[in-house]
C-alpha cells in the first residue's frame, strides 16, 4: 500500500513535484536514519485524501443533495474545497515535521518539498473527485445532483 501511494504521489517517477528525500521521509525513514520504521505518512495521507474526497462528494451529492447546489459552478466550489483541504493536510504534516526538526538529519527537506507534496495530494484528490463524480452508477443515487458533473449541467 505504501508503494502504491508513493508511486501515485511521485507520479510514477515521471514528474516529481518534490525531492527524493521528501519521498523517503513520507515512506517513514526514521529519525535515527536507520530504516523505514517511522510513521508511513504516504499511507495515512493517501487514505485521508480518499476518505475526505469521498465525504465531500457524498456531502454534495447525497447529504445536501440540493437543487441549489447542483450546477457546474457548485461542482467547482466543492472541487476547490477538496483541493484546498487536501493541499493543507499534505502541506501541514511535513511542514510541522520540518519546523520541529523531527526527521533524519541526513535528509535535505525544504518548504518547497512540503508545497510540492501538498500540490501532489491536491491534484490526486481533484482527479479522484473528477472520477467518482463522473461515474453515473454512483451519481444515480442522488436525487438533485444525478446530472451534475464538472462539465454539466
Partner 1 sequence: MKKIYFISLLLALFLYGCKSEFGKFNDDALAFANNDKRIEQKEYVSLIEQINLSSEKGFQNLKSEDGKIDNNKVVAYLLKYYSAKKLALTSADIWQPETAITKADKFNINVFLENSASIDGYVGDNSSFKTTIFKLLTDLKNFSSADSLNLNYINTKPIPIKVSASRDDIDDFYKRLNPSDFKSAGGMRGSTDIEKMLKLILDNSNSRNLSVFISDCVFSPGKNDAKKYLDGQYASIYNDFTNAKRTNPDLSVIILQCTAKFEGTYYDYFDTQHKNINTDRPYYIWFIGTSTQIKNLVDYKIFELIKNGYANKLVIQAIKDVSQPSYKIQYRPRIGEFDSKSLADGIITGASTSRDNQSKGLFGFNVAVNFSSSLQDANYFLDTANYELSNKKYSLKVEAITDKNNAALSGFTHILKLQTSELKDETLRIDIVGKAPSWVYTSTSSNDTRIETDDSEKQKTFGFKYLVDGVCDAFYPKSNTNTVSSISITIKK
By CB under 8 A, name the binding residues for partner 1: 20, 24, 28-40, 44, 48, 88-89, 92-93, 95-96, 99, 102, 104-108
Q: How far apart are CA 133 and CA 145, in angstroms?
A: 10
Q: How far is the CB of 147 from partner 1 (least distance, A)?
A: 34
Q: Which is nearer to partner 1, 79 or 107 (CB)?
A: 107
Considering the complex, state which of residue 67 and residue 106 has its C-beta at the smaller distance from partner 1: 106
Q: How far is the CB of 110 from partner 1 (least distance, A)?
A: 15
CB closer to partner 1 out of 42 and 124: 42
| Beta strands per DSSP E along 17-79 | none
Nearest distance in Å: CB 83, partner 1: 15
Cβ 31 vs Cβ 103: under 8 Å: yes
State how far the Cα of 133 lies from the Cα of 146, in Å rounded to an integer.
Answer: 9
C-alpha cell at position 74: 457548485
CA atoms of 47 and 4, how far apart (whole Å): 11
Amino acid at each position: 500500500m505504501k508503494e502504491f501511494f508513493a508511486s501515485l504521489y511521485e507520479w510514477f517517477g515521471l514528474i516529481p513535484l518534490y525531492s527524493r528525500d521528501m519521498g523517503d521521509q513520507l515512506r517513514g525513514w526514521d529519525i535515527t536514519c536507520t530504516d523505514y520504521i517511522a510513521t508511513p505518512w504516504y499511507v495515512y495521507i493517501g487514505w485521508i485524501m480518499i476518505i475526505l474526497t469521498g465525504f465531500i462528494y457524498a456531502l454534495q451529492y447525497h447529504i445536501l443533495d440540493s437543487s441549489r447546489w447542483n450546477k457546474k459552478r457548485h461542482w467547482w466550489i466543492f472541487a476547490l474545497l477538496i483541493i484546498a483541504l487536501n493541499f493543507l493536510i499534505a502541506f501541514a504534516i511535513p511542514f510541522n515535521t520540518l519546523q520541529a526538526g523531527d526527521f533524519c538529519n541526513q535528509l535535505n527537506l525544504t518548504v518547497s518539498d512540503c508545497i510540492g507534496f501538498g500540490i501532489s495530494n491536491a491534484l490526486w484528490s481533484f482527479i479522484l473527485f473528477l472520477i467518482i463524480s463522473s461515474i453515473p452508477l454512483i451519481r444515480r443515487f442522488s436525487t438533485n445532483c444525478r446530472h451534475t458533473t464538472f462539465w454539466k449541467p
